[in-house]
């Protein structure tokens, strides 16, 4: 995990039309977050001890055999629902980050557009580029983009796989105590970061979307967080 200090951040973006308005200031308590997206190999440990369910599908977008194949041990686990992601993090003694935590880890206090800064390109992340092509065309091993890591040293927070967070997809402004972080309330859950097929606008550090928590697909994975007392 990497440490993310407590800080006031500007959440959202006034020019975004997909749910990230209004931009507003939020204080985020210090915490830790996984340096990498949870991999097939790490997730399989939880499955093997009976604490997690196997992915809903064992393939990826272009690979019929993905989960459970040694070649893809260090690739992000996909085809997991929100509840499966939550279950894994809790088994580890961690939790799915709230979206303010996730955005702080990706964007930092200085309000970067992307985790690494303001430029974009396939040298920074695995995503769909601006002319309808993709950088890779599927997931890639975690940690490949040293130039794309966040200020705090987290990799792949843009592209590769979109990431489940704990939060319900409710309108901004974000208030952590208004019920949106409840694990019991039904509703769409937020995914962050964009994935290997996402257009440029969806890999920004502030872009947010909501999907049904029962969704499992080859585009979505997750990482875990922990409070500052590891």
pLDDT tens digits, one per residue of 193-218: 999 999 999 999 999 999 999 999 99
Range 174-180, long-range pairs (CB < 8 A, 24+ positions): 174/11, 174/12, 174/24, 174/26, 174/99, 174/100, 176/26, 176/98, 176/100
DSSP classification of residue 162: E
Phi, psi of 78, deg, nearest 5: -130, 180
Give yes or no for residue 77 having a pLDDT over 70.
Answer: yes
| % of the chain exceeding 70 in pLDDT | 98
Q: What is the pTM of this model?
A: 0.96
CATH architecture of 1-230: Alpha-Beta Complex (3.90)
Closest among 32, 24, 25 to 4, alpha carbons compared: 32
Give yes or no for residue 230 having a pLDDT over 80.
Answer: no
Domain range summary for the chain, segments of one domain joined by +: 1-230
Mean pLDDT, residues 107-136: 90
Mean pLDDT, residues 32-60: 98
Mean pLDDT, residues 39-56: 98
How confident is residue 106, by pLDDT bands cut at 50, 70 and 90? Answer: very high
Give yes or no for residue 59 having a pLDDT over 80.
Answer: yes
Angle (CA) 97-192-69 rounded to 5° is: 85
Distance CA 206, CA 16 (A): 9
Q: Supply the pLDDT for residue 18.
A: 77
Count of beta carbons in the 10 Å neighbourhood of residue 108: 18
Structure tokens at 66: 């993905």
Q: Supply the pLDDT for residue 181.
A: 98
Give yes or no for residue 130 having a pLDDT over 70.
Answer: no
User: SS3 letters for 107-144?
Assistant: HCCCCCCECCECCCCCCCCCCECCCCCECCCCCCCCCC
Mean pLDDT, residues 12-24: 88
Structure tokens at 151: 């200020």
């Amino acid at each position: 995990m990497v440490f993310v200090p407590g800080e006031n951040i500007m959440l959202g973006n006034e020019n975004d039309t997909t749910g990230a308005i209004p931009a507003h200031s939020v204080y985020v308590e210090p915490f830790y977050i996984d340096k990498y997206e949870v991999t097939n190999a790490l997730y399989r440990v939880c499955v093997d001890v009976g604490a997690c369910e196997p992915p809903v599908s064992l393939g990826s977008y272009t690979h019929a055999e993905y989960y459970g194949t040694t070649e893809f041990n260090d690739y992000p686990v996909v085809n997991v629902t929100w509840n499966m992601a939550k279950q894994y993090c809790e088994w580890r003694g961690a939790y799915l980050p709230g979206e303010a935590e996730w955005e702080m880890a990706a964007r930092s206090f200085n309000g970067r557009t992307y985790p690494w800064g303001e430029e974009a390109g396939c040298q920074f992340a695995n995503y769909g580029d601006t002319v309808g092509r993709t950088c890779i065309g599927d997931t890639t091993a975690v940690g490949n983009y040293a130039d794309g890591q966040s200020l705090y040293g987290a990799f792949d927070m843009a592209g590769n796989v979109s990431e489940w967070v704990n939060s319900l997809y409710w309108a901004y402004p974000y208030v952590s105590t208004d019920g949106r972080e409840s694990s019991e309330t039904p509703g769409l859950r937020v995914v962050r970061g964009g994935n290997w097929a996402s257009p440029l606008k969806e890999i920004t550090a502030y872009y947010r979307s909501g999907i049904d928590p029962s969704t499992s697909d080859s585009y979505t994975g997750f990482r875990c967080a922990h409070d500052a007392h590891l």
